[in-house]
Each structure stands twice: as structure tokens, then as C-alpha cells.
Amino acid sequence: MTALVPPTILVFDSGLGGLTVFRELIKVRPDARFIYVADDAVFPYGAIEEATLVTRVIAMMACLVEAHRPDLVVIACNTASTMALASLRARFSVPFVGTVPAIKPACGASLTKRISVLGTKATVANEYTQGLIREFAAGCHITLVGSARLAALAEVELSGGRVGDREIAAEIGPCFVNDDKPTDTVVLACTHYPLLLDRFIRLAPWPVNFIDPAAAIARRVIDLIGHARPSGPVPTRAIFTSGRLLTPALEATLRNFGLGEIAALDGLSHVAGA
């Protein structure tokens, strides 16, 4: 009997936020060979002009697709998805699953119809996000909150540093609006933010439903490539484009997420002007 070859899934983000998506993917496809790529040489993506970002992501993906021949690519970054997903799908034949603000399910779940979208400044200002609001948010009051710091704060925490409550509270505070009715739903429109979810819940001025799209992304992957098949252990790999030094805390975190081999540099830092 011919052994079934497990699929290769490439998970791409500007940094470590995509780990929140990866941990859901590995639950539903534990048999897959995962390549996790953090383009942290130019982190954060939210600070890059759109045309420059699209050019870089396409160039990065050309190298990665050629090197790893993935069966599917997950763009585990809201900023990259809202800006570059259409161009990636036009350029490559491999299927892409993106990560975009979960405005439709948020509107369906909200009782007060007061919803905040917490993302990078680039994501909340992007026309793609505005289009989702026009299409799905009829009857809802949407507050867009662009944070310049939360993704970096999440990276600090994940690398073993410590971020004070005051810093986090200041970033999420604008999400909480109480006019005639209070905000009851907050869309986490950056994959870094669920890394701080426990802190968000504790620091919120009142309870809200924080929506993390990672499980929905995993379901979409299953729709495209099917369910897991029996197999032995499959190696996973993490690649950083910056050649960053891995602290013991960060290396332990990556292994706790299920990543095995960790490469601090993979010859990609030169791509598109890094």
C-alpha cells in the first residue's frame, strides 16, 4: 500500500502573531508538515506603506513557494491579508487562506450592536476593512481602533519580557464605548492580539466578547485540504528572516506551540530590500 504524503502548509506572518493561528491549525491537521515563517526583518507590517508591503510579500512568497512547495499557504496576518491577498492569489496557483477582520460574525453575535475592531493602524484604515463594514455591519455601530504598539508589546511578552498593565490598558481603552448602549464585542484584527487575551479580559472595564478568528481559519483550511490522516510524527519548522537571536524564553515558547526545528536565518533577509 502506498503511504499517503502529508500536506505541507506554510504559515506566514510578520512576526509571532501567526502562532495563534498555527496552534489551531496543528490541532486539526497534526499530520501536516508545517513551515512557519516570520518576516520579522521588517516587523511591524503596520508601519510599511502599502505598495512597498505588497511588493515585499510577493517577493517573499516567490522564494518560499519555490523552496518548500506548499500545498496551501495561510497568511496569518491581517495587515498582509487586507493589502496583498488578492495579488498573491493572482500571482500563484497554490491556495491561499487569509486572515481578515471578523466583522460579519461579530455583527451576528453582538446583542448591543456596538462593536469595536482592534487592529493595526494599517488594517483599520484599509479599504478592505471598510468594505467589510459596508457589506456586513448594517445596523451596527463600529468603532475602529488602530494600535501602533500592541503587536510589539505581544512580541515582548512572548520573548520573555514583561509589559505593564497600564501600557496594555491604554491601547485597548478606546474599544470600550458606552453611549446609549455599551460595546459588547471586540474583534481582534491582528493575530498578535490573542497572545495578550488573558490580559485584555482582566483589564477590560466591563466584560465583552473578544473574537479571535483562528479557529475559523483552521476550519477553512479543512474545507480546502480535508481532515487529518493517520501518520507518524511530522517535523515542523520555524524560520525568521531577520536572523534574530533566540532567547531561551522565546525558544521554549516556540516549542510549546509545537514548532520543532528553529532557523534564525534562512537566506531571506535580503528579499525586497530587507
Out of 63, 77, 140, 175, which one is annotated catalytic?
77
Does the active-site annotation cover 190?
A: yes
What is the CB neighbour count within 10 angstroms for residue 263? 15
Residue indicated by cell numbers 534574530 = 244
Residue 101, helix vs strand vs coil: coil
> Residues near 90 by Cβ (< 8 Å), separated by ≥ 6?
none
The b-or-e profile of 30-50 (16+ CB within 10 A means b, else e) is: ebbbbbbbbbbbbbbbbbbee
Does the active-site annotation cover 77?
A: yes
Task: Give the integer Cα–Cα distance in Å for 251 and 92.
Answer: 32
Residue 102, helix vs strand vs coil: coil
Out of 63, 107, 140, 190, which one is annotated catalytic?
190
DSSP 3: P
DSSP 182: B
**Strand ranges in the chain using DSSP code E only, listed in sequence order:** 8-13, 33-38, 72-75, 96-97, 114-120, 141-147, 185-189, 209-211, 237-240, 261-263
Cite the active site residues: 77, 190
